[in-house]
């Protein structure tokens, strides 16, 4: 068994039934994805539209492609035909752009709201106040072909696991507020995407339903210079 297959198997076997694994394959060659696929993995996460589109044609049809990177509005049109779930919706404007495109091509597009809870300035996303403002704005009622299925978040990149845990709790709390508020009659609002290679066990303890793991499965990424 390859290293990749072994990792997929050991992670998958350790997961509670209600937690799914997104294999984050960004920057890795399609051969690596095939090894993961042959080990039973079906959900792959990519962070660049062009790369996802290229891998889409090379991989079997039953792969579920998740987009996890920062999405520019001018890339929405290219992404919508391929994607099963966009984890990284970080503005109302982006939500509107996705809906417009989804209507145009007649697809329902599933998305998560990316929450900003980490200390880093650079992380995109909605704060708790932004979520309240979004709900109050009436925009969600106007969405025709976008289905908001939950939230996604990242903890601060730190060795201090107490901080990480507090941030995951915060993500879960905002999720619960939305779930019992605006989304209370929307059974599809049920996903909490949190947890990466270094912190996924804590994320699961704090209520994650989707973990996004790259390095632990595929090894370190070789970032192309562009
Ligand atoms: C790259 C990336 C991951 C995977 O990170 P690893 O530390 O390699 O597991 C997860 N989530 C997002 C949003 C990412 O960009």
Q: How would residue 224 be classed by pLDDT, with cut points 50, 70 and 90?
A: low
Cα dihedral: 107, 112, 114, 117 (round 10): 180
Beta-carbon count within 10 A of 117 CB: 22
CA distance 44 to 147: 20
Nearest CA to ligand 1 atom 10: 212
* Model confidence, pTM: 0.96
Q: Tell me what pLDDT residue 222 has.
A: 77
Q: How would residue 25 be classed by pLDDT, with cut points 50, 70 and 90?
A: very high
Mean pLDDT of the chain: 95
What average pLDDT does this structure show over 105-131?
91
Q: Does 203 sit in the ligand 1 pocket, CB within 6 Å?
A: no
Residue 73 DSSP one-character state: G
The answer to whether the CB of 214 falls within 8 A of the CB of 197 is yes
Residue 191 DSSP one-character state: E
Q: Tell me what pLDDT residue 70 has.
A: 96
Q: Does 194 sit in the ligand 1 pocket, CB within 6 Å?
A: no
The answer to whether the CB of 11 falls within 8 A of the CB of 217 is yes
Distance 186 CA to ligand 1 centre (A): 28
Distance 31 CA to ligand 1 centre (A): 19
* pLDDT at residue 95 tops 90: yes
Which is the closest atom of ligand 1 to the Cα of 24?
4
- What fold does the segment set 3-218 form as a domain? TIM Barrel (3.20.20)
Helix ranges (DSSP H) in 128-189: 128-137, 139-142, 161-180
């Amino acid at each position: 068994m390859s290293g990749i297959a072994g990792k997929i198997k050991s992670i998958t076997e350790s997961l509670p039934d209600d937690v799914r694994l997104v294999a984050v394959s960004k920057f890795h060659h399609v051969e690596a994805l095939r090894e993961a696929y042959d080990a039973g993995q079906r959900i792959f996460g990519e962070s660049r539209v062009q790369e996802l589109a290229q891998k889409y044609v090379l991989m079997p049809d039953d792969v579920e492609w998740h987009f996890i990177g920062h999405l520019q509005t001018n890339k929405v049109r290219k992404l919508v035909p391929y994607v099963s779930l966009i984890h990284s919706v970080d503005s109302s404007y982006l939500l509107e752009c996705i809906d417009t495109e989804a209507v145009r091509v007649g697809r329902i597009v599933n998305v998560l709201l990316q929450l900003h809870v980490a200390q880093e300035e650079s992380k995109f996303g909605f704060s708790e106040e932004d979520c309240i403002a979004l709900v109050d704005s009436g925009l969600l009622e106007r969405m025709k072909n976008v289905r908001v299925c939950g939230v996604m978040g990242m903890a601060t990149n730190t060795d201090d696991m107490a901080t990480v845990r507090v941030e995951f709790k915060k993500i879960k709390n905002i999720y619960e507020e939305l779930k019992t508020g605006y989304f209370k009659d929307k059974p599809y609002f049920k996903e909490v995407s949190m947890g990466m290679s270094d912190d996924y066990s804590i994320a699961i303890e704090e209520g994650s339903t989707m973990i996004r793991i790259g390095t632990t499965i595929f090894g370190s990424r070789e970032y192309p210079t562009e």
